[in-house]
A and B are shown apart, each in its own frame.
Chain A
Amino acid sequence: MSTTETGTAAAGAPGGGPSGGPGDGAGAPRRGIAARIVGRVGGGVAQFLLIVVAVVWLVPTFGLLVASLRSTSDNGASGWWKVFSKPGQLTFSAYSDLLGKGDFVDSFWNTVLITVPATLLVVVIASLAAYAFAWMEFPGRDWLFLVVVGLLVVPVQVALLPVAKLYGSVRIGSFHLFGSITGVVLFHVAFGLPFAIFLLRNFFAAIPRDLLEAARMDGGSEWTIFRRVIFPLGGPAIASLAIFQFLWVWNDLLVALVFADTGSQPMTKWLQSQMRQFTGNIDILAPGAFLSLIVPLAVFFAFQRYFVQGVLAGSVK
């Protein structure tokens, strides 16, 4: 492993090497050439390894995609890679069958109805709380923040039973919190907040104080400062938080198994219920699983452009 490391470290050198070479003195050129060779080879090795890892990582997903595009009988008869010799096998029938199933479509919308509010609420509440923790003076602020940080280590499993009991006691008319989408959302928000507040507070605290003071001098109230200075500057952190939270809620099965009923179940729970003990049921699971992962991918690529490096450059000094 260490050879690869030195290799990649040296890989940066060749770029500046040719121009810097002559100035290095008498003994230098020989070492320069060696370093360049090592660099090129090392760089190549590192690249190769990365590609291998990426391919290995993607093969199952690709297999899933291909399997979802073959008929049940083809999948039963041969492995998905056979498709390369028989491209004629490809068909969208599994998808059209699946999308024709009302309960799948319902569960897809349930997932959306759970994930979107759970993400938005966490982002909004956490960024407000993080601003207060980072920039507002109030008694007990640091202790309260320590409590929030402490909550990071509370495992979800510990809370399942108490929260289930609590939910069971909440009934308003015909509405039962237990088994409702609202219940699932609240649980996700509660367990998403500690990490979200922690992440954003540290990011906000790194914003130069002068910027906030300048905004205050310019006539900004706390709310205006938050909305027009902190929130835009916190963009990268907020975007990454949104992605984290979105993926975590979208892919969640445990919370849904405990708190959702058949009317409010998300896709993960529905897919899990389609598993059979003795048959693969691949014509449902493969397209269902692929549909469930295409949305997070889209979200990731949509937010990715907000990860701009150095958004703070040029503000102070």
Chain B
Amino acid sequence: MAEVALRGVGKVYADGTRAVTDLNLGIADGEFLVLVGPSGCGKTTALRMLAGLEEISEGEIAIGERVVNRVPARDRDVAMVFQSYALYPHLSVRDNIGFGLSLRKVPKAEIRRQVDHAAQILGLTEYLDKKPRNLSGGQRQRVAMGRAIVREPQAFLMDEPLSNLDAKLRVQMRAEIARIQRDLGVTTVYVTHDQTEAMTLGDRVAVMKKGVLQQVAPPQELYDRPANLFVAGFIGSPAMNLLQGSLAGDASSARLTVGGQTLELPASVFETRPALRDFLGRDVVVGIRPEDMEDAALVPAAGDAPGGTLTSTAELVEAMGSDVLVHFTVQAAQVVTEDTRELARDAGTDVLGKLEGPHTGLVARFSPRTTIRAGDPVTVHVDTGRLHFFDIESGSAIWGGDAGSSREDEE
């Protein structure tokens, strides 16, 4: 077990393609770090450089005290779980798990003992003599885990280990991985494109976009204080609603105008976000989490929480049981920046800003007690204390002083 450090790591392929740029990450001993991002963001490349399967073009990587740039994969003492599991088809489960140990000339009896132990942890004891082809997906996944566990490596590297499983099994194995990692306390770097996995598994989550690290933070902080538009839009499901608005007034009685409708901002907004004062009288990007909106009819009229309302027409109502997702539109301009384009590409909707006139679709998460139906006019109560503000030019979140510039946040 060891600390892992990436210092200014970059990857340029032979054809000139740049996959990773100036990646700085420190992973503490025993920490579970998740690398997350849309496909092609360089997260897998980063992991493969850490594993030694890909050459490091720039910077250096250290595992423990040792800089491993020139150390071949087999001597780095890290174990990897592959997306495809990569089990040896000609070997039994027992030999698959013990393969790494047998290559290290560990005595047979010792291998046997360790494999039995790992199999017990993973519930594979009765499958030890089977071949991988006779196992189910979840069992194969566990064999792949077992192969990593017995090595007792400095670090586990996992490359989307759950993406080939069906949804139910994925949830189960996710819990399993979390449990095993906690029990063994091995430093783990986990790559995924699934933000639910990232949020539930990671002690900290690193969000990447186009080879550049956007933010590293514990999951809740990532959710509550995203450093920029990309992180804001990527983390959370349904995603944060992003729309253009303008700030007016002064810090004691500020008004936010979105699509011709005005929301009063409480003074507390400026207390927690000193930098926002500089944006009074200017356009900003406003982010609203779906759960920070509620059917105004269900909010006590007294309005103990700071808030304002938006009115629109409910276009689509999705009852999820525990809550109701309401889709509606406001006449505010869409946010079209490089970040939101990247998010749209990831979501598979490449058409942004092609609509007539300013027009942005929003999703709100209402309590199931709402009686809204599709087509009804809807008054949406917005918790203005929990709004997110972003610089329309740079896309960075507007907080105060230093916190706002956490785009290349190290540790």
Contact = CB atoms under 8 A, between A and B. Distances in A.
Interface string A214-230: 11111111001000110
A232 interface: yes
B78 interface: yes
Nearest to A220: B103
Contact of B82 (A214, A235, A310, A311): A214
Contacts, number: 89
A314 B88 CA distance: 8
Nearest to B153: A217
A224 B86 contact: no
A314 B89 contact: yes
Interface in A15-42: none
A312 interface: yes
B388 interface: no
A308 B86 CA distance: 20
B90 interface: yes
Contacts of A210: 82-86
Contacts of A232: 90
A200 B72 CA distance: 27
Given A210-B82, A314-B131, A314-B133, A218 B89 contact: no
A211 B88 contact: yes
Contact of A221 (B74, B90, B131): B74
Contacts of B79: 217-218
Contacts of A65: none
Given A314-B135, A315-B132, A217 B89 contact: no
Interface string A286-317: 00000000000000000000000011111111
A233 B131 CA distance: 14
A314 B86 contact: no
B87 interface: yes
Contact of B103 (A224, A313, A317): A224
Contact of B88 (A217, A224, A315): A315
B74 A220 contact: yes
Contacts of B53: 213, 216-217
A224 B85 CA distance: 20
Choose among B103, B131, B140, B164 the residue with the greatest number of A CB atoms under 10 Å from its CB: B103
Given A314-B89, A314-B133, A215 B99 contact: yes
Contacts of A224: 103
A216 to B, nearest CB: 5
A213 B86 contact: yes
A277 to B, nearest CB: 56
Interface in A209-259: 210-211, 213-221, 224, 228-229, 232-233, 235
A224 B72 CA distance: 14
A208 B84 CA distance: 9
B269 interface: no
Interface in A89-125: none
Contacts of A208: 84, 86
Choose among A218, A228, A233 the residue with the greatest number of B CB atoms under 10 Å from its CB: A218
A314 B74 contact: no
Nearest to A214: B86
Contacts of A313: 89, 133
B74 A311 contact: no
Interface of B: 51-53, 72-75, 78-80, 82-90, 99-100, 103-104, 131-135, 140, 147, 151, 164
Interface of A: 208, 210-211, 213-221, 224, 228-229, 232-233, 235, 310-317
Given A213-B73, A214-B88, A313-B89, 12 more contacts: A208-B86, A210-B84, A213-B80, A213-B86, A216-B73, A217-B74, A218-B99, A218-B151, A219-B75, A220-B74, A235-B90, A310-B133
24 contacts: A208-B86, A210-B83, A213-B73, A215-B88, A216-B53, A216-B74, A217-B73, A217-B79, A217-B100, A219-B75, A219-B103, A219-B104, A220-B103, A224-B103, A228-B99, A311-B89, A312-B89, A315-B85, A315-B86, A315-B132, A316-B82, A316-B86, A317-B85, A317-B164
Closest 7 CB pairs of A and B: A314-B133, A218-B100, A316-B84, A210-B86, A315-B89, A214-B86, A314-B132
